[in-house]
Structure 1
Amino acid sequence: MRFVQDIPNPQFRIGLYAWNSKYIVKIEAGPYEQTYKVSEMDLIDPAAVPSLLDQEFLTKVSQRFQDMDADWQATGDRNNAF
C-alpha cells in the first residue's frame, strides 16, 4: 500500500492510500478505524478526495465511531471482559 497524503481534520486522523488500482481512505479515531475503497477508475484525481469528505459525511462517520464504541463496550459487558 502506497501512502498518498494526509488529509487534515481536527477530529480524525485521515490518510489517503493507493493499492491494487484503488484509493483507500482510512479514517481513525482512537482505537477504531473506518476504511473506504474507491476504484482509481471512478476518481479522476486523488486531490478531489478531501472535497468528498464534507460535513454531512464526517457527521455520519462520527456517529458510526460512537456506534462502534457502544457495540464494543456492550460485548465486553455481556462477556465480563472489561
Structure 2
Amino acid sequence: MRYIKEIPHPAFRVGLYVWNNKYLIKIEAGMYEQTYKISEMDVSSEDEVIRLVDETFLQRVNDRFAQMHEDFLNTIERHEFD
C-alpha cells in the first residue's frame, strides 16, 4: 500500500492511499477506522477521489463511528470480564 497524502480534517485523520489498482480512503477516529475502496477505473484522478470526501460524507462517517463505538461498548457489556 502506498501513501499518497493526508486530507485535512479537524476531527478525523483522513489518509489517501493506492493499492492493488484501488484508491483507499482511510478515516481514523480514536481506536476506530473506516476504509473506502474506489477502483482506479471509476475515477479520473486523485483530485476526484479527494472531492468525494465532502462534509456530507464525513457527517455520515461520524455517525457510523458513533454507532461503531456503541456496538463495541454493548459487546463489552455482554461479555463482562472478571
TM over 0.5: yes
Rounded to whole Å, the distance in 2 between the matches of 1:81 and 1:18 is: 40
Do structure 1's residue 5 and structure 2's residue 27 form an aligned pair? no
CA distance 1:55–1:81, change in 2 (3 Å): farther
Do structure 1's residue 33 and structure 2's residue 28 form an aligned pair? no
CA distance 1:51–1:74, change in 2 (3 Å): same
Number of matched residues?
82
Rounded to whole Å, the distance in 1 between the matches of 2:13 and 2:27 is: 6
Do structure 1's residue 73 and structure 2's residue 73 form an aligned pair? yes
Rounded to whole Å, the distance in 2 between the matches of 1:13 and 1:74 is: 25
Q: 2:55 maps to which residue?
A: 55
Q: 1:14 maps to which residue?
A: 14
5+ long unaligned stretches in structure 2: none
Identity of aligned residues (%): 50
Which portions of structure 1, spanning 4 or more consecutive aligned residues, are displaced by more than 3 angstroms?
none
Secondary structure of 1:80's partner? Answer: coil
CA distance 1:44–1:81, change in 2 (3 Å): farther
Deviations 1:2-25 (A, max 9, x none): 001100000100000000000000
Deviations 1:37-82 (A, max 9, x none): 0000111011222221111111100000000000000000011049
State TM-score, norm by structure 1. 0.95
Q: Which residue type is aligned with residue 34 of structure 1?
A: Q
